[in-house]
Structure 1
C-alpha cells in the first residue's frame, strides 16, 4: 500500500513539473513575441492604448476613464470587466503598454498548467504532454497574443482551471473557478450558464448546475441591462447594432421579425465561419465533438457569427482564445468518458482507443497553424532588429510628455504613460496641446498637408505649428 502511494505521489510530482515546463516554454515564446512586437512599433488596433489608459487609471486609484474612447468615457460603460482592476499592480511595476502584453503572455502560459496536468492524468505522460503543448500553442491563443492585450487574458486561465476541475469531477471547484468569468466580460456570463447546464443535465449535478446557470445569466442581464447603460455616456449598450445584419442594423436588439430572420440567416455566411468551426473541431481532436462541453462554445460563436463585424468571424484576432480551453477539455472528456449520466441521455462510452487519434489531430492542427500563423516570425532574424524609428519615438514622447495629445492608433499605447491621450478619429475632443501622426500610414485626406493643418482643421480657431517631422512621424504643437 505504501509503495502504491509512493508511486502515485511520484506521478503527481512528475505531472506538475512537466506542466510547469510546458508553461515556461510557452511563456518564453509568447513574451518574446510580445516584446519584439512592441519594439517593432506594431499596433494592430487601438485596444492596447485603451487598456493601458485603463491600467493607468486603476493604478492611480481612479475610475477607468479612457479619453481615447471620448472625453470622460468610463470604460466600464463599454464592456463589463471590473476584474481588470488586477492590472493596477502590473502597471505599478512598469508603467507601459508592454507590461500588459507580458502579463497576457504569462496568463496564457499559466493556463497550460491545469490543462497539461489533467491531460497527463487522463491520457498518460506522453499523450498528455502532447495535448498540453497543442493547447499551449493553439491557434486561438497565438491569435490573441498577436492582437495584443484584451480582457480575455484573464478568462483563459480561469476557464482552464475550471474545466480541469470538471474533468476531475470536483464540481464546486469547477464552479468557483468559473464564477469570476462574469467580471471579465459581459458575454462570458452566458458561457458560465452553459457550463451550469452541462453540470445540471449531463453531469447530474442539479443543484450546482442551477446555481451556476442563475449566476451566469443574472450577471449578463445585470451588466447589459443596467451597469453598461448606466455608465455609458449615451445611456445604452454600444453593441446592440453589431448583432444585426447588414448596414441597416437597428439601434436596439431588433426592429422586426424580418430583421431577426435576416440576422439569423447571416449567421451561416460567409464560408470563413465554417473554416473557424473546422479549426475548432481540429483543436478538439475531432473526437471532442462527442463531449457536451462543446456547448460552451455556443454563446461566443453565437454573438460572433450573428454579428455584422467581419473580424468576429475568422480565426485571427483574440475572439477564439476563450474557446481553446473548452476544445482541449472536450477532447479529454470524450476520450476518458468523464461526463456522467444526466437528463438528456446515456452515459458517454469511454473511447480510449481513440485517444491517440484525438491527440494527433489536436497536435497536427496546432502545428499547421503555428507554421502558417503569427508565431512563425520568431524564426526570422529581422524580428529581433527592432524599429529604426525607435529613437524618434523616444524623442517624440519627450516632446509631448505632460501634455494633452491627439494621436492616431499607432503610438497611443506608447504615449499613454506620460500624456493624456485622445484618438484623432473622435469628434468632440478638446483642443489638444499636441497632435501626433504617423505619416507613413496616412489615415487622413490628401487635402491636409501635415499634422498642423489637420489639427487646425479639427479644432477651428486654434493655431498649430509643426515641431517635429522625422522618420515619418509628425508632431504639431498648439501656439498659445
Structure 2
C-alpha cells in the first residue's frame, strides 16, 4: 500500500537535507569569502556589527553616521539585532552575523517544504518549492548582500504561515513577534499575511487579529518609539522615511524602464504558476510596489540589493497556491464525471486527465528550472558561468569573492597597527574589519565625490586608515567605479593636515594619527628645485618622467629614508602618475611614493624644475633579516588593474634602485 506523502515527516526527506546543506556550503562560503576578501564594506555589514556590539556596552544599537553617532532604533528599529549580541560576545567577528543569517535563511526551506507537501500531497512538488525558495534570484542577492533585518524576516514569514496553516496559535504568535522585531516595515508583511487568512484562509478572526496587531505595532514604532531614540547617540537625527526613500519622484520617469525590468526579474521566473496564486501576490503588492518606486540612496529598486527579501515568501506561496489550483481542476473534472462510461471515451478522457495532471507538475518543474536559470544568469554565484571568468567585480575576481595574498596583509596590518576602540575614519572595505568600536566613520562615503566629507569629520577622529592602492573596482555602464585613486583626495587632505601624521605604511595601507610625535611620524616631503645639482647620477626613463638620482638610507628600528630626484621629459603632463617601489621577494612589500602621488602629483610639475622627493618607511618587524633589492616603477592609476602594479598599468620598465639590508 502506497504511503501518502503527508504521512512522511519533513525531516526524513534526504533530498531536502542535501539541498539545504549544499545551500549552506555555497552561500556560507560566498558570504565568508566576500568578507575575508575585503569586499564587504562598512556600509552595511560594518555598521550592523557596530550596532550590535554597542549593545554589549549598554547602548541602543548605536552606529556612526557622517553626522555622528545615532541609534538604529531611531531608524529601522531592528530589535531582532539584540538576539545576535550573545553570539558576538562569544566570537567578536562580523562573520558570526553572516553565518547566522545564512543558517536562518536556509531554515526557510523547511516550512516551504511542509506547506507545499500539505497543499499538493506530492514530494516532487515540495522538493521543487524548496529549490525555488533557496535559489530564487532576489532571495540569493538579499542573503549575499551583507546583513539586514528584512533578510532575517524572509524565512520567518514562511515559518509564520506554516504555523497559521497548522493552526498552532502560540507558534504563530512567536513567529509573528519575531518578524515584527526585524524591521519597522516588516509590519506591512505581517499585516498582509493576516489579510490573506482573513479573506481567503478560512481563519477570519486570526487573520484580523494578526493584521490589526501588525498595523498597531508598526504605527507605535513609527510614530512613537522611533522619535524617542533620535538623540540616543549624541547626534540628533531626523528620520523621514517618505523623504529618504520617496523624495525624488522626479527621477521616476527617467528610470521607469529599469524599474519594470527589475519587476520582471522579481516575479518573472515563476509567473507561469504564480499568477494563479494571485491572492498572495495581491497582498504583497504594497511591499513590491514600494520598492519599485523607491528613490532612496542608490538604485534601491535594483534586484541586486536586499529590499525584495520580504517579497520572496509571498512569491513562493503564490507558486504553491497556483499549483494547487491547477491540481484541483483535475479533481473537479473527476467529480463532474468527465470520464465517460464508453471505452473509447474512457481512454480519451484518461489521456486528457493524465495530460492535465502532468500539467501542474510540469509547470512547477518548469518554474523551478527557470528560477535556477535566472539565478545562474543574473546572480553572482558559482552557477553563473561568468563567476569563473574573473571579470572586474564578479565571481572569483579579487573585488568580489576572490581572496588574495594582499587580503592577508590587510588583516595583519589592521590587527597589528590599528588600535582598538579609538575613533577612526577607515577605508570603506577596511572599516568592516575594525567595526567593534564606538565611533567608526568612512574615509570616503559612497555619495562623496571625493574630499568633501573628510574635512567635516576630521576633528572627530584620532586615527585614519586609507588605502593608496585601493583594490576594489568594478565597471558599471562602462565606467570604472573604485580603483587606485578612489581615496586620493582624502589621502592628500591627511598628508596636508598638520594635526595628523603618517605613522605606518605597508603595501599601500596607510595609518594616520592625530597629534603624532616627531619620533612617530614618517617624513613625507617633496619640493621643486631650480638649478638642482646632481650628486649621484642614476638616469632612467619612465615615459614622461625621468629619474635623475636615488638612494636609500637606513636608520635604527628598521626605519629607512628614500631620496628620489625626478624631472619631466619634454612638455608638462595633464595626468597623475604614481611611483611605487617594492622589495623584491617580499609579499606585501610595496611602498607608494606618497609625496609625488598626493602632495605634488605629476600634473603639477613644472618642466624647468627638478622634483626632489623624500619619504620614510618603517619595515615590518616580522620581515626576515637579509638583503633585499629596492625596485621602482611608475604606473597609470586610471588603469582598471592599477592596484596590481604590474605590466598592465606600468609605464616603462622597473629599475633596481639599491639593495637594502635588514638586520
Query: Same fold by TM (over 0.5)?
Result: yes
Change (3 A) 1:9 1:371: same
Report the Cα offset of residue 473 of structure 1. Answer: 1.9
Corresponding residue number in structure 1 for 2:435 = 416
Report the Cα offset of residue 446 of structure 1. Answer: 4.2
Instruction: Return the alpha-carbon distance in structure 2 between the equivalents of residues 430 and 220 of structure 1.
Output: 38
Corresponding residue number in structure 1 for 2:627 = none
Out of 59, 83, 96, the residue aligned to residue 86 of structure 1 is: 83
1:204-237 Cα offsets, whole Å, 9 max, x none, are: 3221122112111112211221222221244632
State how many pairs are aligned: 444
Corresponding residue number in structure 2 for 1:312 = 300
Report the Cα offset of residue 60 of structure 1. Answer: 4.0
In the alignment, is the contact (CA less than 8 A) between 2:288 and 2:311 conserved in 1?
no
In the alignment, is the contact (CA less than 8 A) between 1:107 and 1:154 conserved in 2?
yes
Report the Cα offset of residue 22 of structure 1. Answer: 2.0
Instruction: Return the alpha-carbon distance in structure 1 between the equivalents of residues 293 and 128 of structure 2.
Output: 34
Matches for 1:66-77 after TM superposition, within 5 Å: 66-68=63-65, 70-77=67-74
Report the Cα offset of residue 398 of structure 1. Answer: 2.5
In the alignment, is the contact (CA less than 8 A) between 2:159 and 2:175 conserved in 1?
yes
Q: Between Structure 1 and Structure 2, which shows a larger proportion of helix residues?
A: 1
Matches for 1:171-186 after TM superposition, within 5 Å: 173-174=171-172, 176-186=174-184
Instruction: Return the alpha-carbon distance in structure 2 between the equivalents of residues 418 and 232 of structure 1.
Output: 20
1:4-59 Cα offsets, whole Å, 9 max, x none, are: 8x766862256554433322221111111011111211035611111010121223
Matches for 1:194-233 after TM superposition, within 5 Å: 194-233=192-231
In the alignment, is the contact (CA less than 8 A) between 2:36 and 2:407 conserved in 1?
no
Aligned CA-pair RMSD: 3.2
Corresponding residue number in structure 2 for 1:252 = none
Instruction: Return the alpha-carbon distance in structure 2 between the equivalents of residues 145 and 385 of structure 1.
Output: 20
Change (3 A) 1:14 1:431: closer
Instruction: Return the alpha-carbon distance in structure 2 between the equivalents of residues 46 and 284 of structure 1.
Output: 32
SS at 1:66 equivalent: strand
Q: Given the alignment of the two structures, is residue 276 of structure 1 paired with residue 262 of structure 2, yes or no?
A: yes
Q: Given the alignment of the two structures, is residue 64 of structure 1 paired with residue 61 of structure 2, yes or no?
A: yes
In the alignment, is the contact (CA less than 8 A) between 1:18 and 1:129 conserved in 2?
yes
Give structure 2 stretches of 5+ with no counterpart. Answer: 329-355, 390-395, 446-452, 471-481, 517-663
Computing the radius of gyration over CA atoms, which structure comes out larger, 1 or 2? 2
Instruction: Return the alpha-carbon distance in structure 2 between the equivalents of residues 406 and 466 of structure 1.
Output: 14
Change (3 A) 1:146 1:7: closer
In the alignment, is the contact (CA less than 8 A) between 1:275 and 1:314 conserved in 2?
no
Report the Cα offset of residue 313 of structure 1. Answer: 1.5
Report the Cα offset of residue 412 of structure 1. Answer: 1.6
SS at 2:76 equivalent: coil
1:333-378 Cα offsets, whole Å, 9 max, x none, are: 122149x9xxxxxxxxxx9642421331233123232243111376
Instruction: Return the alpha-carbon distance in structure 1 between the equivalents of residues 491 and 458 of structure 2.
Output: 19
SS at 2:432 equivalent: helix
Instruction: Return the alpha-carbon distance in structure 2 between the equivalents of residues 97 and 14 of structure 1.
Output: 31
Corresponding residue number in structure 2 for 1:23 = 20
Instruction: Return the alpha-carbon distance in structure 2 between the equivalents of residues 70 and 245 of structure 1.
Output: 20
Instruction: Return the alpha-carbon distance in structure 1 between the equivalents of residues 511 and 134 of structure 2.
Output: 42
**64-73 or 165-174, which moves further after superposition?**
165-174
Matches for 1:360-371 after TM superposition, within 5 Å: 360-371=366-377
Higher relative contact order (CA 8 A, sep 6+): 1
Out of 458, 462, 486, the residue aligned to residue 433 of structure 1 is: 462
Q: Between Structure 1 and Structure 2, which shows a larger proportion of strand residues?
A: 2
Change (3 A) 1:123 1:60: farther
Instruction: Return the alpha-carbon distance in structure 1 between the equivalents of residues 269 and 56 of structure 2.
Output: 37
Give structure 1 stretches of 5+ with no counterpart. Answer: 247-261, 341-350, 457-461
Matches for 1:85-104 after TM superposition, within 5 Å: 85-104=82-101
Corresponding residue number in structure 2 for 1:193 = 191
Change (3 A) 1:115 1:283: farther
**173-182 or 23-32, which moves further after superposition?**
173-182
Corresponding residue number in structure 1 for 2:479 = none
